[in-house]
Amino acid sequence: MNETLTLVPALVMGVLLGAVFFGGLWWTVRKGVSSKQPALWFFSSLLLRVSIALAGFYSVSGGHWERLLVCLFGFVMARLIVTQLTGPSVERRNSPGKEAAHAPESR
């Protein structure tokens, strides 16, 4: 019982770390594609997001592999949630795409 109570905060922190990491990635892509210096956006965002995630994993684990594993599980859960929230709408997923233009026939 006591062990389970120490794993719940690790799961919550994993979800929060994942939300920050993948939400930050989504935000970076949206800002970076319209920026005059996209490489700076992507590189600085990568450094910041990885630093936050690694520091969070290190502090949550506290030297216990069980907490680290549960935190990683929460991180992956957050990836799925952020992907669902920021992905294309259902109408866009189910609608047929534009057909490719074909090259003119050669004689």
How far from 15 is each of 48, 52, 53, 71, CA to CA, in Å?
Answer: 17, 13, 11, 7
In the chain, where are the structural domains located? 11-87
Read off the pLDDT of residues 84-104 as tens digits, 9 standing for 90 and up.
988 876 555 566 666 666 666
Residue 14's Cβ-count burial label (10 Å; 0-12, 13-18, 19+) is buried
Read off the pLDDT of residues 72-84 as tens digits, 9 standing for 90 and up.
999 999 999 998 9
Closest CA relative to residue 83, chosen from 26, 5, 39, 10: 26
